[in-house]
Amino acid sequence: MSMNLEGIRVVELTHWVAGPLTGQILGEWGADVVHVERAGAGDVTRGNGPFYKGESLYYRAFNRDKRSVTLNVGTPEGHEIMMQLLGKADVFVTNYTASFLKKNGLTYEDVKARNPGIIYCCISGFGLTGRYKDNKALDMVMQAMSGQMACNGEPDGIPYKTGTISGDYNGAYQAVQGILIALLGKQRTGQGQLIDISITASLICGLEWRIPEYRLTGKTSLRTGNRRPTVAPCNLYATKDGYVYIAASSQKMYEKLVELIGDKQMLDERFSDNAHRIANIEELEQIILNWLSDKETLPIVDVLQASGIPSGPLFTPMDLANDTYVDEQQIVIPVDDPVLGTIPAMGTPIKMTSGYRSEHRGAPALGQHNSEIYREVLGWDDAKLTEMKEAGII
């Protein structure tokens, strides 16, 4: 069975998360992804925990379904080799800084001169333009500067980051989307193009209505804990043995909840419509908490769902690791790791009827495919491979 991106060659000069994850997603759908890593050192995340049998699970989370070569792009010889690889690529993905790319002759203009049809995707903290373009940042910094962190936490508490690197994941999926749009456009026009992905901008775009609202009215909402600022009741509630999230976000859903709980107080004028419920949320939520206090989580979720009320239990990653849902949805997939053997790995939420990789490659060992790639793509022989290795170029 052919894969949706079969025949597309992606060269990625990436490290950390957003860039490698972009390549991994493209690789899952059949692209030939060549991860160019620093000669002798590799991607910095190879040294990041958590570890299993001395091997980094962090690196493995973002680098399956691709091949690894090593290259010192900071030397004249390494730069030329990189340009030769890019000359035979459809897509270039990088999340190195603009200053690094300029210093090493790998800007869009540089690469386009060698390969006019290249789709060049640059992922960065703040984009290639604007006053922050040279700033360095990791995910938490971008969450802080995007306004997202200001929206997380309790109303009277300090802002909180998300518990995961949500910015890098957001940036990677935006990059994949941009690359696929550009590939589709190239089919019509024959032209490549530059894709400029700002992770901070992608997070700002997730602020919903808040910036337009503030510009129009001079006010907007920030931290509301686990509540939604615009609908009620919508919160995480304690049960006898855990927590359940209830989102009765329409009048019909609220009326179903009233019917289910059976407390006549919920029919008061205080709770007659969404605006009144938001204004009197503390009193309303106390009624819900009292009702849930002797209820077990999973059975009450079944009852809520049967009444048509959006709801679900609070799960931990440990719960999900033992839940068949992640297997039913192929969220966790088996991969053949070159060092660890068959191990579980995270898939993608993108599901299609066909065209995906049925057998996944584990994250490659550093430079595992040097001989394979340099022979296949650039036509090197044994003597050339030995020469470049001994010179520290690969």
Catalytic residue list: 168
Contact 124, 174 (CB under 8 A): no
- Both tokens of residue 189? 């026009």
Contact 364, 63 (CB under 8 A): yes
Q: Centre a 10 Å sphere on the Cβ of residue 77 and count the other Cβ atoms it contains.
A: 16
Encode the chain in three state secondary structure.
CCCCCCCCEEEEECCCCHHHHHHHHHHHCCCEEEEEEECCCCCHHHHCCCEECCEEHHHHCCCCCCEEEEECCCCHHHHHHHHHHHHCCCEEEECCCHHHHHHCCCCHHHHHHHCCCCEEEEEECCCCCCCCCCCCCCHHHHHHHCCCHHHCCCCCCCCCCCCCCHHHHHHHHHHHHHHHHHHHHHHHHCCCEEEEEEHHHHHHCCCCCHHHHHHHHCCCCCCCCCCCCCCCCEEEEECCCCEEEEECCCHHHHHHHHHHHCCHHHHCHHHCCHHHHHHCHHHHHHHHHHHHCCCCHHHHHHHHHHCCCCEEECCCHHHHHCCCHHHHCCCEEEEEECCCEEEEEECCCCCCCCCCCCCCECCCCCCCCHHHHHHHHHCCCHHHHHHHHHCCCC
